[in-house]
Amino acid sequence: MKDVDVPAFWQRLGLPGLIDLHVHFMPARVMEKVWSYFDSAGPLTGRDWPINYRWPEEQRLEHLRAMGVRRFSSLVYAHRPGMASWLNAWAAEFAAAHDDVVPTATFFPEPEVTAYVEEALHNGARIFKAHVQVGGYDPRDPLLDGVWGQLADAHVPVVAHVGSGPAPGAFTGPGPFGEVLRRHPTLTAVIAHMGMPEYDAFLDFAEGFDNVHVDTTMCFVDTFGDQEALGRELAPRLAALRDKVVLGADFPNIPHDYAHQLEVLERLDLGDDWLRAVCWGNPDRLIGAVGS
């Protein structure tokens, strides 16, 4: 499947398009730094990572729209104090300028974090991003306890990169975030990359906590080798979790075509109803539940 074929994919399913909750738009200089990280990530990850969509911002927006991605996030994330607040301001302006962008925000453990998270919620943020691997912080940090509570109370989903892929961090893996979930069992969390590579433990969370979901980002793609065996292994659990799996592609920071993510989901052979839930119904419910 090529990107030009994506509209035929969702039209066959009878959908109005796609909703992707794992898309990155950032200030230009921040995006350039992210791309530079992937350019040099070979020694860290053991693989080359060419950015497939290293395009100007407007071209990236146009490409998503041409494929029929109707709603998408602009996931930003902080890796040091003093960064999250201005990223949130940028993301709010970006969403205000583009009706199809889901208003997005982030946070970092620092004394003022609950204040600017409250401000972001008040200003309409409908999804948050927590990147424990890049941020290098402990999600159990006491400074964040109030934030997890704020998000749980507001029913606002947080896309949490807490798995140890593509390289482990000091606080990645199911242990630290599992403690967060036990403290805040109603938190609406979307486990990025399905918790790669600790799939089983993070799927346990989706099975055990009412509001924990997983996204499909980079899962089962052939870019780094044959993943069909992994797909067959996880397919029964994913079938049972149909209402807790959401589409994510990691656009534009991917070394393959956007369409390939859809192709490998179809290859799981879990049926059209499953694909409809993943590609539209579940993400639509999550971003529509804010404030309910």
> Using CA atoms, how far apart are residues 174 and 199, in angstroms rounded to an integer?
9
Q: Would you say 64 and 85 are in contact if contact means Cβ atoms under 8 Å apart?
A: no
Q: Would you say 167 and 37 are in contact if contact means Cβ atoms under 8 Å apart?
A: no
Q: Quote helix, strand, coil % in the chain, to nearest 5.
A: 50, 10, 40
Query: For residue 103, what is the DSSP state?
Result: P
CATH of region 3-288: 3.20.20.140
Nearest of 148, 151, 131 to residue 140 by alpha carbon: 148
> Using CA atoms, how far apart are residues 236 and 203, in angstroms rounded to an integer?
11
Helices (H), 127-196: 132-135, 142-154, 174-183
Nearest of 137, 245, 268 to residue 195 by alpha carbon: 245
Query: For residue 57, what is the DSSP state?
Result: H
Per-residue model confidence (pLDDT) at position 291: 34
With a cut of 50, say whether residue 292 has pLDDT above it: no
> Using CA atoms, how far apart are residues 5 and 285, in angstroms rounded to an integer?
26
Confidence of residue 39 (pLDDT cuts 50, 70, 90): confident
Q: Tell me the domain boundaries of the chain.
A: 3-288
User: Could you report the per-residue pLDDT of 97-153, keeping only the tens digit for each?
Assistant: 999 999 999 999 999 999 999 999 999 999 999 999 989 999 999 999 999 999 999
Predicted TM-score (pTM) of this structure: 0.94
User: Could you report the per-residue pLDDT of 174-215, keeping only the tens digit for each?
Assistant: 999 999 999 999 999 999 999 999 999 999 999 999 999 999
